Structures are given as structure tokens and as C-alpha cells.
Amino acid sequence: MNQPEATLRGNKPAAIRVLRALAVSSALLASVAAAASAPVVEGEAPRVRALLEQGWAAESGKGMGRSPWLAASLYRQAGEMGSGEGYFRLAQVHLAARQYGGDAATASCLFALASQLGHAGAAAALERQAAARVAPAAGCDRDPTQLPGYAPFDIDAYTRALPAPRHEVVALIRKLAPRYGVDTRLALAVASAESNFNSLALSPKNAMGVMQLIPATAERFGVARPFEPEQNIRGGLAYLRWLNQYFAGDVVRVIAAYNAGERAVEAHGGVPPYAETVAYVGRVLYFSGRAFGDLPPAAAGRMPGGGQNAPPRRPDM
């Protein structure tokens, strides 16, 4: 018998503390395992669904280091795009991660936002918060959307952890991107932000497939079957190549134009001041491994001012 074991056996309180710690660790591991098999959210637009899936991966540590900060940022972006589920999950992060700056009052405010958007579980959560005498904080909807700049995003690890059917989509992008002269990580980041590699994704605006091609773009680049992964990816890559040539390799404008259209980028002389587009540019740059410290504030997904001074929503949303 070694000395630590003998010490534990002779010290019942210490032994009990160790057993309790092991039980807590087992419970945490079980919760992470449960998180990894979280049910798919239905009824959300593809970009919102992608944010929720990526937020869950960050929250549970699937395909990346566990990061409540990243999860919170992605959930907030989903909420800002009209998702009650995004605000609901963000509220839960605040409740579960107080050591990371979360708080119950902000969670109550976020539950209220989720309830206003029709989330089924938010009203019950608000009632529980009220029973615990937690008053909602003011202004939780005015926090700036900002992705963390402290850790690079590993797109390779993330895509390896995706469901098996999406591995084929990832492999196609890796195979085809160099043929179109498009940076592979940029192409993967765009596909991740658009649909999270879902070849059957269809948005309320009829954007289709992996690269979320609207009908006019699909026709423009000769995509006859937009839900066929290879055709869709070729169309998206052809558009990225065209944008890269048009904007002389300015990756920030290329990404902004993929989201908002080249005419909007031209009209504003850069990233249009739409909340979704500003956040989208920052998200794609982050997913592609760009360093945030080297980017201008608008490109990094920061929305200065918040509240009434926040960038307006895209007019076609």
C-alpha cells in the first residue's frame, strides 16, 4: 500500500472529498457526452442553424477546445438574426459559466428576449428566475457581437468532428478549391458559415445547398442542380474566384460581398454597415484562421456602439 492510499484510508473526511470530486468529474464528463449528441434544431435558417451547431460544438468541446466565450458569441449572433434558441442557449451559458463573466440577471434578460421570439422553454425559465428573485438586467440586447481573439480556430479539427455525411462535403471543398484558385481554408470557412456543410440546406430567401446559392447566382455560374454537393460547391467557388478577381484579392471585401452582394460593398466602399454582414465577415475570417489583431474593427465582427447605434439589419432580411 502506498502512502497516499494509506493516508486516505486513515482519513475518512479526505476520502469522502475525493469520492465526491470523482463523482462530480464523472457527472461533468457525462454532461459533455450528452452535449455531443445534442438534437438537431429544426425550423431555423441555414446560417442560424450553423451558428447554433457551432456554438454547441464550442460549448461541449466537440472538435475544438471547450470555450464558453466562443459559444456565447455564436449564440448571440444567432439571437441577433432572430433566433429565440440562440438567446435561450446564451442565457444558459450565462447561468452555467458565472466564473467566465456570466450572471443570472443577464440570463433573465436573455430568456425574456427568447420568449419574445416565441421560444417554448423561455417563459418557464423566466418563471424559475423570478421564483429565485432574479430581476432581468437591462440592455442585454445591446452587447456588441465580438468573437474572441485569444485563440485561433482550428478548422481541420472542427471538420473532423462533424457527422460522417458532411465529411464528403468537406473533402469535395478541399479537392476543388485549389482548382478554382480559392484558398481552401477560406472556402471551408464560407461553407461553415453558410450551411455548416449541409448539402440540403434551404433558406427562407431560397438560398440553396452547401454554399447557399440564391437562384440568380446559381444561374449565373451554371449550377443546374444546386442540391447536388459538387455542383453547388463549384458554383460557390466560381463566385468566390470572381469576387477575388473583382476586388483584387481584398479578402474582407470578398467575404462581405459573398454575404451582401458586390453592389452593396461598392456602394459602401467596403463592408456594408449591416449587423449580419459585419458579424458574418468576422466569423468567416475567424473560421479561416485569420488573426483578429491584424483586422480592422468592422472586419473583426465588432459592432461599435450597440443598441440604437448598432449597424442596421440588411434590407433583404
Give the Å distances, CA to CA, from 24 to 45, 102, 113, 266: 37, 21, 32, 55
Which pLDDT band holds residue 40 (cuts at 50, 70, 90)? low
Q: Let me know whether 184 and 291 are in one domain.
A: yes
Which pLDDT band holds residue 3 (cuts at 50, 70, 90)? very low
Query: Over the chain, what is the mean pLDDT?
Result: 80
Least confident of 87-91, 241-245, 290-294, 305-309: 305-309
Q: Let me know whether 174 and 138 are in one domain.
A: no
Least confident of 4-13, 18-27, 214-223: 18-27
Where in the sequence is the domain holding 273, given as residue range(s)?
155-305
Q: Let me know whether 265 and 290 are in one domain.
A: yes
Mean pLDDT of 142-159: 70
pLDDT of residue 143: 55
Q: Let me know whether 176 and 296 are in one domain.
A: yes
Q: Which residue would you say has higher pLDDT here, 219 or 138?
A: 219
Indicate which CATH number applies to the domain containing 187: 1.10.530.10
Mean pLDDT of 147-153: 62
Residue 133: pLDDT over 70? yes
Residue 90: pLDDT over 60? yes
Residue 193: pLDDT over 60? yes
Mean pLDDT of 68-80: 91
Share of the chain above pLDDT 90, in %: 57
Q: Let me know whether 263 and 192 are in one domain.
A: yes
Query: Catalytic one among 59, 85, 194, 276?
Result: 194
Q: Which residue would you say has higher pLDDT here, 36 or 110?
A: 110
Listed residues 111, 142, 173: the one ending a domain:
142
Residue 15 domain flag:
no
Q: Let me know whether 229 and 164 are in one domain.
A: yes
Residue 252: pLDDT over 90? yes
pLDDT of residue 39: 46
pLDDT of residue 291: 56
User: pTM for this one?
Assistant: 0.78
pLDDT of residue 276: 92
Q: Which residue would you say has higher pLDDT here, 100 or 157?
A: 157
Mean pLDDT of 289-308: 45
194 in catalytic set: yes
Q: How many domains does the chain have?
A: 2
Query: Could you count the other beta carbons within 10 Å of the beta carbon of residue 72?
Result: 25
Mean pLDDT of 268-296: 83
Q: Let me know whether 218 and 88 are in one domain.
A: no
Residue 28 domain flag:
no
Residues 113-128: tens digit of each pLDDT: 999 999 989 999 988 8
Q: End-to-end alpha-carbon separation of the chain, Å? A: 68
Listed residues 142, 170, 193: the one ending a domain:
142
Residue 89 domain flag:
yes
Which pLDDT band holds residue 64 (cuts at 50, 70, 90)? confident
Q: Tell me which range, 68-72, 103-107, 271-275, is most confidently predicted by mean pLDDT.
A: 271-275
Which pLDDT band holds residue 304 (cuts at 50, 70, 90)? very low
Residue 312 domain flag:
no
Residue 282 domain flag:
yes
pLDDT of residue 182: 98
